[in-house]
Every structure is written in C-alpha cells, then in structure tokens.
Structure 1
Amino acid sequence: MKSDQVVEAGARIWVGFQGTSFNGELKELIDEYRISGFVLFRRNIESSGQLKELTSSIRKYVRSKLDREPNIAVDQEGGSVRRLFFVETPSAEELGKGSDADLSSAVYKTAVSLRSHGINVNLAPVLDVATPKTPEFLRSRCFGSDPALVARIGSLWIELHQKHGIRCVAKHYPGLGRATLDPHKEELSIYWLTPQQMWQDLQPFSAAVSSRVWGIMVSHASYPLWNSTPRAKPAFMSDLACREWLRKRLSFQGIVFSDDLDMGAVKGKFTAEEIAWNATMAGVDCFLVCNDINHAIEIHSALVELADRDKLFCKHHSYSAYRLLDQHRQLL
C-alpha cells in the first residue's frame, strides 16, 4: 500500500476471531493488516475474569503496535442476545412493554458491565419495527410495532449508553421488521408497498440520528422501492440507501457499518472486490467480517488494490479510513 495514495485499509475492517485469549491469529491481524476493531462473540467468553484479561491484552498490543485505542464491540441487546451471558437484562420486546425506569436500569447495568470488561461499543439497539410477519429470530429483539414507540425507546437507549461511555451502533437500517427470511441464511428483499410504510421503518433511525448515535449498521436486504433493477443491490452496497437517504436526507454524520459479511445473504453471492467497491462508493465506512478471517483478508486486499488503481475510489476509501482513525484517537 502506498502511503501517499491510501490510508490504512485495516482501519475499515472489524473482525471476529476464534479463541478466548490473545493468540497468534490476533497478533497477525494487528501486525500484518493493522486491524484495530474487534467483535466478540459467545465463543470468545468463558468468564468475567477471562474476558477482562482478553480485552486488556488486545488493548495493550494495539496501543504498542498501532499507537491507537482499539474498538472492542459486542452485541449486548438483552434477552437471548447477550454475549456477556452473565449480565442478565430484559429483551428489547420486554423493555418496549415496560417503563422508562426499567429501560434506564437495564441500560445502566449493560453499559457499566461493558465498560468494566474493556468493551467500548455495543452493536445495538435494534431499531427494526416489528410486524405480524416479523420472523421469530428478530421479533424479541424489537422494541415493538409502533414506529413512534421504537423511536422513543431507541433514542433513550442510545442516549443512556453514550452518557456512560459506550458507543452505540443502531441496526438494521433501513429496517428489517418486514423481512420474511433470515439474512443470516439467505438473500432477502423488503417490500415497502407505499411511501408511508417506508417512513414508518425509517422513523426510528431518524430519531437515532437526532440522538447523535455513533454508528448505524446497514442491512443486507435489498429494497426494491429504492431500486427496481432485476437484481437490486443489498442496502449496504446501494448509493441510494447510504449516501442519498442515510447521509443526505437523514443527515447522519457518524460511522456507517455493514452487517456481518459472512452472513448467508452476502457471502458467496459477491466477490470481495464487488463488496469493497460497491459499499465504499455507496458510503459504508466500516466492514464487519465476523467469522472467516480469510474473508477479512480478501476484503482488505480488495480495498488496497482498488485504492491503488482508482483515484475516485481512493478518495472515498481514504475519507472513511480517516473518519475511523479519528474515532480511535478520540478514545486515547
């Protein structure tokens, strides 16, 4: 990579990894690819003490090698989606039916627990608006079926987390509540039949932007109302979804994330170069690759090669990398 042409590709990739302690895989990711964003899963966590040791080791090594503070993230939504399994809080569905005091208590408990274990990013809340057809895998993760309620509770969740020093990444923009398939397993499209349905799904994300949410994760679904081509691109690869609507119309200035690129809706459907090109040009800053390290390395290589040979791509790539590196510096 030429330093005068492109900023570090590693800054734009957050990875999941195997193991419960600092290991050779992590060392290589940091040394060779300058990765400094990590997503922890249940497979990485055995106990409170072990988790603290793991995050401390990652932090010390990234600081010494890259002179930056790492972003260490989990999905700690509550209910069944709790990577820190020893921290019990209600599901989003339960919180949607409870009081603001219940929400404040759950968020405080979550934020304090994350910070004490060396985690600074929560890949939450889910701001999808539930419908009668929302699949079971998602329903309990939604605050409810009223867009105004989801917007209000989601905003409180974000403000309280960020007040206690935990960055939030709201998901799954522009909404998965109308899904009938699971994007972890297969490609899917969300069919808004009217502009009113579209605005119902967007309302919670608009509120999150007003609450200064740090990041927004873009879904793998396609939205034919926004793209009527024979094969509509997934939202995270769509200029209309990311630059036009999220950045311009909703005025979001934070970090734009892809969902996990190892999910069945994407992996094997697009090459690393197609993902890197389309998502970068659409306005995605950060790529999540949570299960396959080789896939993360392929995305890294594609970013480097595209930036070396295309000036416009290099401009967008560098802008995203600078944005993420600036966020790392703010943690120091």
Structure 2
Amino acid sequence: MTQFNFQSLPDLAGQRLMLGFDGQTLNAELKHLIKNYRTGGIILFRPNIESADQLRRLCMDARKYALDQGLPDLFVAVDQEGGPVARLRKPFTEFPGNPHMKTLEDAREFARITASELSDMGINMNMAPVMDVAPPDVDSIMKDRAFTGNANRVSQLGTAVIHGLQRGGIMAVAKHFPGIGRTVKDSHFFLPELDAELSDLKQIDLVPFEAAKKAGVSGIMMSHILYPKIDPDWQASLSKTFAYDLLRTDMGYQGLVMTDDLDMKAINHDMDTCIQRIMAAQIDMALVCHAGPNIAEARDAVMRYLENDREMFESGRTCVKRIIAAKESFFG
C-alpha cells in the first residue's frame, strides 16, 4: 500500500469520494477522476459492464492506475444484492434476492459464490447486505429487497452474508441506516419520511445494524430518509444526529460510514450544503454515482472545507485514516 500523504488537500479530499463514471474501460473520464480528483473509490452500474473479460480488465486497470498515481488501492464497489438489484447478470450467478433466502445456508451460499465472482473481477466492495426490516403489514419500498422476517431473523441472515462476503475478501456494506423498511416512497424519486421515535428504531430497525457492527461489517450506508421526530431538519445521510451521535457515539461503530447516492431526488439541497453536512457529521465517504457536474462540485466543496475549516481538516484526516486502514486490512 502506497504511503499516504495526510497533508495533501487533494489526496484527503479525493479519498472521501466514491464516484460513478460513464464507459467500460479505463477511459479519459475515469483517468481524470483517479489522477486529478484522487478518488478513493469507484462504483459500477450495468452500463459499465459488458462481459466478464471486459469487467475484469476495467477493474484491474483502474486499480493499477491508482497505484501508478501514488494513491492507495481503489475501492471498486457494486450493488450485488441478488434479485432486482444485481449489476452483474449472466454469466455470473443470478440469485433470486434476499426475500428468497430461507435458511442460513442460503445466505452463506449466496455470499460465498458472490464473493468469489466479485473478487475474480477485481471488485472489492459489495453494497450489501440490505439490513432493513420490512414488516408484513407495510407496503414497504424494500419488500423485494429485504430479508423476510423480524429484526432478529434479518440479523441472522444478514450477518451470515457479511461473514461470507468478508471471508471471501469482499468488503460488505450494510444498508440503509438507521432502517428504511417501514417507508413506502422511493428515495430515488422522493424524500420519504418515517414518523418514528428513536425508541421505535432501537426496538426494531437498529437491531440488525447492531448485529452487523458486532459481525465486523466493513461499512454502513446512511439512508436518505427524514425522521422528523429525531432530526426534523436533515435526512439521515446528512445528519450529525444519526451518523455521529447515534452510529458512532451511541452504538460505537468504528468502521466506514458512507452516504447513499447524492444524485438521488431525496437530496433536495445543493452539493455544497450536502458536503458541509457530511463533513460536519464525520461521514467518511460521499457517493456521487453518476457522471455530471455534481462530481466536480462535491470535490471542490470538500477541498474548500478542508482548507478553510481547521476542525473539518482534523476530523477529515481521521476519516481518511479510517479509509486507509480499511484498505490496508483488505488489500494489504
């Protein structure tokens, strides 16, 4: 692993970003994100994937290029939950998804095979498992993506997936903290609200995330949901109350914390505001998953806050130390 310069503002800023891009090769756009923006990670979607050979070449080339630029190895992430959210399709193994996992062996088999296939491609992070609890009496937005059962059952199956992925060399990211299983609107298109007290979340929704923490999950993704009885002003992904006070301090989670995609419609703030909130909450990584002006705006905002706010510079170095430690633990 490259010796990291914790005094370099561009490097500190870039490691806080996980970015999407257009194309299926190490093209000029992707080189720009790595060389000039110093990005800490990239995330892949269906348009980035044509075949196994192409995907392997893309991932390996991007990771090597980062190292050649004096950067730590890249996070190369993908959403491979199975079912409706699986970026890798045939010839990769297609699983029916979390609602169809009935036994621990089902979960272990999914994790073992998925880890092997992702690792073979050069992918090192899976934005899975979904740890949301979807009650049967709610028309949950997550009903086709969540494990079936109560919080304890979700915890059992989810931690089996976490252990299996990470034993196979793939960093697991539990989502969507603090739980969106009781929401009915899609944060890709709306800002959903969940009118729950913190005591309600602790009784149900937070149980699987506590289990994920105990299982050593590499990352936790924040939801874009507004919980007005807990933080009336900011959705969880922009909320110090949720990311720092609840997840870091109260629950004691020491792994990576990241936002969901800041390009979603649930984010009704400009990018500068988003980055200010993310850095104040000491969220490690901001996801901007689609090519466009939001990427440049996010990077510029991180640079500006690191340069002009001493407290954000120091907390930012702490976040990047956590990112580098995670990379070293998985990539050596």
Alignment partners' CA distance in 2, 1:328 and 1:146: 33
Give 2:98's match in structure 1, choosing from 71, 92, 97: 92
- In structure 1, how many angstroms separate the alpha carbons of the residues matched to 2:40 and 2:317? 16
Query: 1:18·1:44 contact (CA, 8 Å) conserved in 2?
Result: yes
Does residue 176 (structure 1) correspond to residue 180 (structure 2)? The answer is yes
Contact residue 218 and residue 326 of structure 2 kept, 8 A? no
Inter-partner Cα distance in structure 1 for 2:200 and 2:272: 35
Contact 1:89-1:110 at 8 Å conserved across structures:
no
Question: Could you say which structure has the greater relative contact order, defined with CA pairs below 8 angstroms and 6 or more residues apart?
Answer: 1
Q: Please tell me whether residue 163 in structure 1 is matched to residue 167 in structure 2.
A: yes
Unaligned stretches of 5+ in structure 2? none
TM-score for the superposition, normalised by structure 1? 0.93
1:112 paired with 2:120, answer: no
How many Å apart are 1:160 and its aligned residue? Answer: 1.2
2:56 matches 1:55:
no
- Among residues 47, 67, 76, which one is paired with 2:80 in the alignment? 76
1:215 aligns with 2:219: yes
Paired with 1:292 and 1:270, the residues of 2 have a C-alpha distance of 18
- Root-mean-square deviation (Å): 1.7
1:123 is matched by which residue type in structure 2? M
Question: Amino acid of the residue matched to residue 280 of structure 2?
Answer: M
Matched-pair contact (CA < 8 Å) for 1:40–1:73: yes
1:186 equivalent to 2:218? Answer no
Cross-structure match for 2:319: 320
CA change 1:316–1:134 in 2 (3 A) is farther
Counterpart in the other structure of 1:235: 236
Aligned equivalents of 1:294 and 1:329: distance in 2?
31
| Deviation larger for 165-174 or 141-150 | 141-150
Structure 2 counterpart of 1:106, which letter? F
For 2:155 and 2:47, the matched residues in 1 are separated by 32
Q: Deviations over 1:31-50 (max 9, x none)?
A: 11111301000111111111
Instruction: Give the superposition deviation at 1:65.
Output: 0.8
Aligned with 2:152 (options 148, 152, 156): 148
Say if 2:103 and 2:157, in contact at 8 Å, map to a contact too. no
Deviation (angstroms), 1:5: 7.4
State which drifts further: 5-14 or 117-126.
5-14
Shift of 1:197: 4.7
Cα deviation code 1:268-291 (max 9, x no counterpart): x21222111111111210011001
Could you tell me how far apart the structure 2 residues matched to 1:197 and 1:271 are?
29
Number of positions where the alignment pairs a residue of Structure 1 with one of Structure 2: 323
TM superposition shift of 1:325: 2.6
Q: How much has 1:322 moved relative to structure 2?
A: 2.3
Match of 1:270 in 2: 269
Change in CA separation of 1:4 and 1:111 when aligned onto 2, cut-off 3 Å: closer
State the TM-score, normalizing by the size of structure 2: 0.93
Residue 201 of structure 1 corresponds to which residue in structure 2?
205
| C-alpha contact 2:6 2:317 (8 A) present in aligned 1 | no
**SS of structure 1 residue aligned to 2:283:** coil
> How far apart, CA to CA, are the structure 1 residues paired with 2:209 and 2:53?
36
Q: Is the contact made by 1:134 and 1:177 (CA closer than 8 Å) also made in structure 2?
A: no
State the shift of 1:194 in Å: 7.2
CA, structure 1 residues 104+326, in 2 after alignment: closer, same or farther (shift >3 Å)?
closer
Partner deviation per Cα, 1:136-184 (whole Å, 9 max, x = no partner): 5x21110024111001111111011111111001000000111121000
2:247 counterpart residue number: 246
Amino acid at match of 1:271: D
